Every structure is written in C-alpha cells, then in structure tokens.
Amino acid sequence: METSLRARVRAGDPDAFRQLFDEHASVVYRHAARMTGNWVMADDAVSLTFLEAWRLRERVLPGEGSLRPWLLGIATNVTRNMVRAARRHQAALMRVPPPDPVPDVADAVAQRLLDGEELAAARKALSTMRRGEREVFTLCVWEGLDAATVAEALGVAIGTVRARLSRARKRLRKLTELELDGGAGGTQGGTGQRGRQRPAADGQIPGGRHQAARSTQEKR
C-alpha cells in the first residue's frame, strides 16, 4: 500500500516536500501577495512558509486529505509576522533623514502597473477589515476554502469563521457603496483614475491579467 503524502511529510521525506512545494507554492504565493500587498514580500513568505512547514511537519495529522489548509494556516501566520516586522522597519526608517533623490525608474516598472493597481485595490478593500476578518475573508472568498477548513487552518471555531466572514462582507459592501457615491461625478462608467475598476461587494476585482479574487459559496 502506497504511503500517503501526509505520512511522508510527517516523516520528513524530502521528496514529499518537493511534491508539496510543486503542488502548493503558487497558492501560498497568491495568498501572501493578497495579505501583504507586496509581490516581493510574497516571494519571501513562500520560502518562510515551507521552512516553517518543515519545522512543524510532525504536527501533520494522519489521513488522506489535502495539506493545502495546513499550509495556508502557516502562510497566514508567516505573513502576519512579516507585516508587523515591515511596520516596525518603516517606523524606524521614518526617523532617518531622507536620502538624496534617485533617478526615475517608472519605465522599469511600467509593465507591472496593471498588476500593481489590481493588488492595491484588493489591499485597500482588505485594509478596512480587522485582522481576523481579513484572514477569514481571504481564505474563504479568494482561496475558496469552506468555513470548516478555514477554522482548522486558523485554529478557531467554525462559528467564529462564519461571524468574521459575515462582518468582512458587510464592511466590503459598505466600502463599495461609499466609493460608488463618491465617484458619481467621475469619469464615464464610474471607474477611477486610469479606468481602474472597483472591487465588487463579493470581493471580486474584474478584469486584468491576473484574476485578483474569485468568489465562492461558503459551505455551511
């Protein structure tokens, strides 16, 4: 009988971890990018998540289910710590005299402008939520996990997940309504500067080369 991936990961099989990385690295990266609002931090978060997964491998429960929720739970904690560290670093930089002017690098980043605008829109929506709501919303709505799986990933009760998700959706809906009211006198179609589309009340950001979000129905 073939040993399950869970058992192999728990035993510290290097080949099992390579398989785990190949199957889930992109999912972890996408989740970290949405949580941090920064592509470079997301790259670092992927590495840190799998290093932490290796350290915590003996906590993997036996069974045949996917290890995706376990990894996303670790990624959530990793990105949470990274954001805290970044804030402390930024506060320290604010106390340092400003550097000399540097050449304009707009041309070098122009090809990623669209991706950056979409990520900024998603990050703006998330910034209106409390941390717990933000984490639940990202995992349930954008990663497509059901409430029970998210509860397992975050180590909280399923009722807590459902309550946080409900509050997060209400906050996002309110933000959308405020933006629509404020943009009534704007450009045609109600889009903001450069024609960027607002996030919808269900968390979707339509269009673009990267689909920044996808909605899913919560399993109750």
Using the Cα atoms of residue 28, residue 44, residue 62 and residue 18 in order, give the sign of their dihedral: positive
Q: Spell out the domain ranges in the chain.
A: 1-96, 113-220
List the beta strands (DSSP E) in 19-164.
none
Q: Report the CATH number of the 113-220 domain.
A: 1.10.10.10
Q: Measured between alpha carbons, how far apart are the two ends of the chain, in Å?
A: 35
pTM for the structure as a whole: 0.53
Q: What is the mean pLDDT of the chain?
A: 75
HEC secondary structure over 149-175: HHHHHHCCCHHHHHHHHHHHHHHHHHH
CB 198 within 8 Å of CB 176: yes
Residue 22 has pLDDT above 90, yes or no: yes
Residue 210 has pLDDT above 60, yes or no: no
CATH of domain 1-96: 1.10.1740.10
pLDDT in tens, 81-106: 998 887 876 777 677 676 665 554 44
